[in-house]
């Protein structure tokens, strides 16, 4: 994996939610492909990436705060003099019926999954528009379009993220900036561990419902993200690329 094509050589990338799971896999892959990566997370564990990988710089911050978005983009410019790619990956989920969901829980999910992406995209776009180039990739879900009980907040946040992706795409393409998203299925991460101590096992088992009969590894999603961020996806604008093992096909 270390001898990857250096497709992103000298590109500067911000990845949110990079301490673990999909975000960590994305940060490492972009590093392997030559990029200079700012790995953002509220968890101090993100600092370990800076120890293990020369061109990954950790940034500790709360993705839901406006000041974090402003500061991380400013940090990219101060540190590297540019910003080429933004990956909005940070995510939260809560598994509760709508009637049992508190406003605090609703806001936690919406602020992380949707508002955080909006804030970081807004600040990144200010730089990208000035430079007349850039790419933003949002991490969505098959819950952008399909749902089931106990994910009201999560499905709403991902549906909103899909529409944010499309709107930013049509606003930004005139500046040579592409905005797309990946609709992921079940991925074996710690996403639901906060509410389910056997979260990784649950995701692995739930993934067996997909036609592919398994959940994804984070590295598989990272490959799709890298493609969308690259010039190989030059004609993709406002696309929601489903990387869900076929889950969205069987639940239509």
Catalytic residue (one of 53, 142, 146, 154): 154
**Rounded distance between C-alpha atoms, residue 110 and residue 198, angstroms:** 24
249 inside domain: no
Q: What distance in Å separates the CA atoms of residue 147 and residue 251, rounded to the nearest whole number?
A: 9
Distance CA 1, CA 180 (A): 25
Rounded mean pLDDT of the chain? Answer: 94
Task: Judge whether 146 counts as a catalytic residue.
Answer: no
Cα(94)–Cα(67) distance, integer angstroms: 25
- Does residue 72 fall inside a structural domain? yes
Q: CA distances (Å), 145 to each of 63, 150, 161, 217, 250, in order? A: 24, 15, 11, 22, 13
Question: Do the domain assignments include residue 1?
Answer: no
Question: What is the structure's pLDDT at 225?
Answer: 99
Q: Which two tokens stand for residue 15?
A: 């990845």
User: 117-136: per-residue pLDDT in tens?
Assistant: 999 999 999 999 999 999 99
The confidence score (pLDDT) of residue 52 equals 92
By three-state DSSP, how is residue 243 classified? strand
229 part of a folded domain: yes
Q: What is the mean pLDDT of residues 102-117?
A: 98
Q: pLDDT, tens digit, for every residue of 159-194?
A: 999 999 999 999 999 999 999 999 998 898 876 556
Closest to 204 in 3D by CA, of 194, 192, 222: 192
The answer as to whether 157 is a domain residue is: yes
Q: How confident is the model at residue 2 (pLDDT cuts 50, 70, 90)?
A: low
pLDDT band with cut points at 50, 70 and 90 for residue 25: very high
Nearest to 223 by CA among 210, 206, 198, 241: 241
Whether residue 2 lies inside any domain: the answer is: no
pLDDT in tens, 136-161: 999 999 999 999 899 999 999 999 99
Q: Nearest-CA neighbor of 139 among 10, 244, 1, 30?
A: 244
Give residue 1's pLDDT. 45
Token digits for 176?
A: 């040579």
Range of the domain at 201: 12-244
pLDDT at 82: 98
Beta bridge partners of 56: 37
What is the percent of the chain where pLDDT is above 70? Answer: 93
Q: How high is the pLDDT of residue 194?
A: 62
Q: What is the CATH number of the domain that holds 53?
A: 3.40.50.720
Whether residue 6 is contained in a domain is answered as no
CA distance 218 to 84: 23
Q: Given pLDDT bands bounded at 50, 70 and 90, which one contains residue 3? A: low
The total of structural domains in the chain comes to 1
């Amino acid at each position: 994996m270390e001898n990857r094509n250096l497709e992103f050589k000298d590109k500067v990338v911000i990845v949110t939610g990079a301490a673990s799971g999909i975000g960590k896999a994305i940060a490492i892959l972009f590093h392997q492909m030559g990029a200079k990566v700012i790995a953002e997370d509220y968890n101090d564990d993100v600092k370990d990436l800076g120890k293990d990988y020369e061109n990954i710089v950790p940034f500790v911050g709360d993705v839901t705060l406006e000041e974090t978005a402003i500061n991380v983009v400013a940090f990219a410019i101060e540190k590297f003099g540019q910003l080429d790619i933004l990956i909005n990956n940070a995510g939260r989920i809560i598994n509760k019926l709508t009637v049992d969901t508190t406003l605090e829980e609703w806001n936690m999910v919406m602020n992380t999954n949707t508002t955080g992406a909006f804030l970081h995209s807004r600040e990144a776009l200010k730089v990208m528009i000035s430079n007349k180039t850039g790419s933003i990739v949002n991490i969505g879900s098959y819950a952008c379009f399909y749902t089931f009980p106990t994910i009201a907040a999560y499905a709403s946040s991902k549906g909103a993220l899909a529409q944010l992706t499309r709107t930013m795409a049509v606003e930004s393409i005139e500046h040579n900036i592409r905005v797309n998203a990946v609709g992921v299925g079940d991925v074996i991460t710690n996403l639901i561990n906060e509410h389910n101590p056997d979260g990784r096992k649950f995701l692995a088992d739930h993934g067996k419902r997909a036609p592919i009969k398994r959940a994804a590894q984070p590295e598989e999603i990272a490959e799709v993200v890298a493609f969308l961020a690259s010039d190989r996806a030059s004609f993709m604008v406002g696309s929601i690329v489903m990387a869900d093992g076929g889950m969205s096909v069987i639940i239509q």
